């Protein structure tokens, strides 16, 4: 445990020791990637399972009320962190005094946001014309305080590469929170079950990281160099704020214009698909960044890995999203229940949006690997503006129009993102676009065929419908990949990319 002195993290100057440290770090990073992927997989199972179970116990209106609050207050989470967790993790050296000051900064911001959010409960309820939101806002305001206090404990564990502990904390908090939510839903608590789920997750996470982190904050100190940490945090916060505005304009628009029921439908579709997709994509960054860092001085191999990485995302995630778009109706019936069938077109459009977002995701790897955060901020401003316009215009046609606008936005900004990337990094624009279009056309054709076969058979059970479409889709996709030479090369390239990314450093 820290003794409270101001010494920065030690760095050896002996070359042999330094090389040994690098090898050890490589092994720990490889183990950490494995543990992180495993923990993320468990969290995804819990998330999807929670959506499936709670959707049968709660109504769309219950989800809509909570989504109304989080669409407005979610921006506070960005200010609560202020980019300081990432600042602490990436710093080459961090003294105990700096870490302590960061803890009090995050905790103070969390306490301030807690009070501010509680004071805005009535205005938020007036925004949506929902009086029930007042006590919900008061309760959820405490998540800012809990998360603010937990920020630097969690950052300390990340900095020490304690990936197993972090994965355990995430899983335990999710399990306890989901258990509480299901119990309260069974008891007839309605939307309060969802409130309790968020509060429980935040509180359990705080207690867990505080117990596991081998460091305790002292009293804040003046005259400690903080400028570099705060500058890093502010630049990251600016990018996150722009991204948040673009990512939440859909929920805010639906809540204000169409009410809790429609927002509840949209929220379940979004949580089931987009939130799960985000959790699936996130670990790929952990794996890809070290590889791209090693290839910084080799533009040819750098570009080749980006190309292979895009293909790996396409054949791993976009292929699955194409199937979801084709089988949206029986999947909705199967996972959420027949009372949620109105969410079918929403899931279909969100799957399309996810496909284009995933094809552009390699750009995020490159921006981080090459330190192009300022370029990323400028692109985020443009892509968020496109999304806001598409969603607001789409809302003219109701909640389905919002989902269609949400899908159209990444379809428009995806080629722009690749062009933007090619101007600042050694990537092959034509190759990336050609590979993406080839895979999109293949998956869309196989998905359409699976949909038509299922519609012709018209099965009475959603299980049978999903099974028929899965067999047709996978069979056609495998056959096409075996016959078409370009697709065979794609599959080989994906295998090479996975081997390179998972090879121990």
Same domain, 183 and 326: no
Q: Verify that 83 and 179 share a domain, yes or no.
A: yes
Same domain, 389 and 439: yes
| Mean pLDDT across the chain | 79
Q: Is residue 7 part of a domain?
A: no
Which candidate, 206, 228, 182, places its Cα nearest to that of 84?
A: 228
Task: Count other C-beta atoms under 10 Å from residue 68's C-beta.
Answer: 29
Cβ 314 vs Cβ 359: under 8 Å:
yes
Whether residue 273 sits in one domain with residue 146: no
In 3D space, the residue among 275, 233, 201, 242 whose CA is nearest the CA of residue 81 turns out to be 233
pLDDT, tens digit (0-9, with 9 covering 90-100), for 260-287: 778 878 887 887 888 778 877 876 776 6
The answer to whether residue 224 sits within a structural domain is: no
Instruction: Give me the pLDDT at residue 93, please.
Output: 61
Range of the domain at 368: 246-505
167 and 309 together in one domain: no
Same domain, 322 and 417: yes
Give me the DSSP letters along 254-308. Answer: HHHHH-HHHHHHHHHHHIIIIIHHHHHHHHHHHHHHHHHHHTTT-HHHHHHHHHH
Statement to judge: residues 21 and 151 lie in one domain: yes
Identify whether residues 197 and 258 lie together within a single domain.
Answer: no
Please indicate, yes or no, whether residues 263 and 211 belong to a single structural domain of this protein. Answer: no
Q: Which of 75-89, 141-155, 357-371 has the lowest mean pLDDT?
A: 75-89
Query: Which residues have a Cβ under 8 Å from the Cβ of 47 and sit 6 or more positions away?
Result: 174, 271, 275, 276, 279
Residue 251 lies in a domain: yes
Q: What is the pLDDT of residues 350-376, one digit of tens each?
A: 999 999 999 988 888 888 777 676 787
235 within domain boundaries: no
Who's near 197: CB < 8 A, 6+ residues apart?
A: 177, 178, 180, 181
Does residue 347 belong to any structural domain of this protein?
yes
The string of pLDDT tens digits covering residues 395-412 is 999 999 999 999 999 999
| pLDDT value for 193 | 92
Q: How far apart are the first and last CA of the chain?
A: 30
pLDDT in tens, 464-502: 999 999 999 999 999 999 898 988 888 887 777 666 555
| Enclosing H/E stretch for 314 | none
Q: How many helices (H) and strands (E) does the chain have?
A: 22, 0
- Looking at the fold, whether 157 and 282 belong to one and the same domain comes out as no
What's the pLDDT tens digit per position in 292-321? 766 777 888 888 888 888 888 898 889 999
The verdict on residue 233 lying in a domain is: no
The answer to whether residue 460 sits within a structural domain is yes
Torsion of CA 53, 54, 57, 58, to 10 degrees: -160
Q: From CA 259, how far away is CA 424, in angstroms rounded?
A: 43
Same domain, 441 and 500: yes
Distance CA 501, CA 268 (A): 33
Co-location of 58 and 170 in the same domain? yes
Rounded to an integer, the average pLDDT of 134-162 is 82
Supply angle C-alpha 256, 258, 262, rounded to 5: 120
What's the domain count of the chain?
A: 2
Q: Which of 312, 274, 307, 305 is nearest to 289 (CA)?
A: 305
Residue 344: pLDDT over 80: yes
> Is pLDDT above 50 for 25?
no
Matching residue, tokens 């590889």 = 291
Helices (H), ranges, 160-275: 163-186, 192-212, 227-258, 260-270
225 within some domain: no
Q: What Cα–Cα distance (Å) separates residue 316 from each residue in 39, 68, 161, 443?
A: 19, 33, 28, 11
- Give the tokens for residue 277: 């997709």
3-state secondary structure of 501: helix
pLDDT of residue 67: 79
Instruction: Quote the pLDDT of residue 346.
Output: 93
What would the pLDDT profile of 443-471 be if each residue is shown by its tens digit?
999 999 999 988 888 878 888 999 999 99
Cβ-based neighbour number of residue 223 at 10 Å: 6
> What values do phi and psi take at 8, rounded to 5?
-70, 170
Closest CA to 356 of 436, 245, 275, 240: 436
């Amino acid at each position: 445990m820290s003794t409270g002195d101001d010494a920065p993290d030690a760095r050896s100057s002996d070359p042999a020791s330094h090389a040994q440290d690098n090898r050890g770090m490589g092994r720990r990073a490889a183990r950490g990637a494995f543990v992180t992927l495993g923990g993320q997989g468990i969290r995804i199972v819990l998330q999807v399972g929670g959506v499936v179970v709670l959707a049968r116990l709660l109504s769309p209106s219950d989800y809509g009320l909570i989504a109304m609050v989080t669409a407005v207050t979610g921006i506070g989470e960005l200010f609560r962190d202020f980019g300081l967790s990432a600042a602490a993790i990436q710093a080459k050296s961090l003294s105990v005094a700096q870490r302590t000051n960061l803890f009090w900064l995050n905790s103070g911001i969390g306490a301030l946001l807690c009070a501010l959010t509680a004071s805005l409960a009535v205005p938020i309820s007036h925004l949506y014309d929902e009086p029930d939101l007042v006590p919900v806002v008061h309760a959820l305001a405490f998540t800012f305080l809990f998360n603010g206090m937990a920020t630097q404990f969690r950052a300390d564990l990340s900095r020490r590469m304690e990936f197993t502990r972090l994965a355990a904390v995430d899983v335990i908090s999710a399990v306890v929170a989901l258990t509480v939510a299901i119990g309260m839903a069974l008891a007839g608590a309605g939307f309060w079950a969802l409130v309790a789920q968020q509060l429980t997750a935040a509180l359990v996470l705080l207690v867990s990281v505080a117990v596991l982190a081998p460091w305790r904050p002292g009293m804040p100190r003046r005259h400690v160099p903080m400028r570099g940490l705060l500058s890093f945090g502010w630049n990251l916060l600016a990018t996150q704020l722009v991204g948040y505005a673009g990512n939440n304009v859909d929920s805010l628009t639906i809540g204000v214009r169409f009410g809790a029921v429609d927002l509840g439908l949209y929220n379940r579709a979004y949580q089931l698909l987009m939130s799960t997709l985000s959790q699936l994509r996130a670990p790929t960054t952990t794996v890809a960044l070290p590889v791209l860092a090693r290839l910084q001085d080799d533009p040819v191999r750098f570009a080749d890995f980006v190309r292979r990485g895009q293909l790996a995302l396409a054949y791993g995630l976009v292929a699955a999203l194409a199937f979801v778009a084709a089988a949206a109706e029986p999947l909705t019936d199967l996972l959420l229940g027949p009372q949620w069938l109105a969410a079918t077109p929403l899931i279909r459009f969100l799957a399309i949006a996810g496909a284009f977002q995933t094809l552009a995701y390699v750009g995020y790897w490159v921006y981080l690997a090459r330190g192009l955060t300022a370029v990323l901020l400028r692109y985020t401003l443009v892509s968020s503006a496109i999304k806001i316009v598409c969603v607001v215009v789409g809302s003219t046609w109701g909640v389905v129009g919002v989902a269609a606008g949400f899908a159209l936005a990444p379809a428009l900004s995806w080629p722009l993102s690749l062009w933007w990337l090619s101007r600042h990094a050694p990537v092959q624009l034509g190759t990336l676009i050609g590979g993406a279009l080839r895979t999109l056309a293949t998956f869309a054709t196989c998905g359409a065929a699976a949909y038509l076969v299922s519609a012709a058979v018209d099965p009475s059970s959603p299980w049978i419908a999903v099974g028929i479409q899965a067999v047709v889709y996978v069979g056609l996709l495998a056959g096409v990949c075996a016959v078409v030479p370009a697709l065979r090369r794609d599959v080989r390239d994906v295998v090479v990319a996975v081997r390179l990314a998972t090879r121990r450093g």
